[in-house]
């Protein structure tokens, strides 16, 4: 006998791929706004000037990504609305916990990078899914804008990896 339970859908549950795409966009808009709030705190608590600069630079990209997401909503004829993304809320909360659990310096910087990369990886997965939906739904402008965003997220991840391996993790290990 299986112990798995079938989940009853909410009354406003997505019924079409368009509905699911819109739900993903709402999550992404909420997530980017939450990241916009979290990044300055991470930058303020970083000690590496290179890490501070990378976080400040990505903050500016994040602000532009919010604008692009609003353009995506407009391009598909839907009002831009944010809906709490529980996954991103948890990742950000975990990142803030790293600040409390590490002393200022290279170890905290390494923790900040780890936290930020978790954010980037979640975003890369989310935007990849939304690009696939946009392509299938023939939302060409949305696909273009989302592709621009995912490229920035991947670049941010590469920047963080380079900082970790060339500088911060080495200093943290001393």
DSSP assigned state of 4: -
What is the mean predicted confidence (pLDDT) over 145-164? 98
What is the mean predicted confidence (pLDDT) over 126-143? 98
Mean pLDDT, the chain, integer: 96
What is the mean predicted confidence (pLDDT) over 102-121? 97
Nearest residue to 121 via CA among 148, 91, 157, 97: 157
The residues, any chain, with a CB within 8 Å of residue 48's CB and separated by 6 or more, are: 106, 109, 163, 167, 168, 171
Tens digits of per-residue pLDDT, 7-35? Answer: 998 888 889 999 999 999 999 999 999 99
pLDDT value, residue 3 = 74
pLDDT value, residue 9 = 87
- 4 band by pLDDT with thresholds 50, 70 and 90: confident
- Give the chain's radius of gyration (CA, Å): 18
Tens digits of per-residue pLDDT, 29-80? Answer: 999 999 999 999 999 999 999 999 999 999 999 999 999 999 999 999 999 9
- Contact, 28 vs 142, CB < 8 A? no
DSSP 91-122: HHHHHHHHHHHS-TTHHHHHHHHHHHHHHHHH
Q: Which residues of 8-29 are buried (b: 16+ CB within 10 A; e: fewer)?
A: eeeeeeeeeeeebbbebbbbbb
pLDDT value, residue 1 = 57
Model confidence at 2: pLDDT above 90:
no
Nearest residue to 69 via CA among 57, 78, 59, 60: 78
What is the mean predicted confidence (pLDDT) over 129-137? 98
With vertex at residue 41, the alpha carbon angle to CA 35 and CA 43, rounded to the nearest 5 degrees, is 95
User: Does the pTM exceed 0.85?
Assistant: yes
- Contact, 119 vs 35, CB < 8 A? yes
- Contact, 57 vs 119, CB < 8 A? no
Give 151: exposed, middle or buried? Use CB within 10 Å, 0-12, 13-18, 19+. exposed
Q: So what CATH class is 17-172?
A: mainly alpha
pLDDT value, residue 11 = 84
What is the mean predicted confidence (pLDDT) over 73-88? 98
In the chain, where are the structural domains located?
Answer: 17-172
């Amino acid at each position: 006998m299986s112990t798995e339970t079938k989940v009853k859908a909410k009354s406003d549950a997505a019924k079409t791929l368009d509905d699911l795409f819109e739900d993903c966009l709402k999550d992404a808009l909420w997530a980017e706004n939450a990241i916009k709030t979290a990044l300055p705190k991470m930058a303020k608590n970083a000690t590496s000037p290179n890490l501070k600069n990378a976080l400040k630079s990505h903050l500016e990209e994040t602000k532009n990504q919010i604008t692009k997401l609003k353009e995506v909503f407009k391009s598909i004829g839907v009002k831009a609305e944010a809906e709490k993304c529980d996954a991103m809320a948890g990742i950000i909360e975990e990142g803030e916990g790293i600040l409390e659990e590490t002393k200022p310096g290279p170890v905290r910087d390494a923790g900040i990078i780890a936290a930020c990369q978790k954010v980037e990886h979640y975003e890369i997965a989310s935007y990849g899914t939304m690009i696939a939906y946009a392509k299938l739904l023939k939302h060409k402008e949305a696909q273009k804008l989302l592709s621009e965003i995912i490229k920035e997220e991947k670049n941010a991840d590469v920047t963080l990896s380079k900082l970790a391996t060339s500088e911060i993790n080495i200093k943290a290990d001393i």
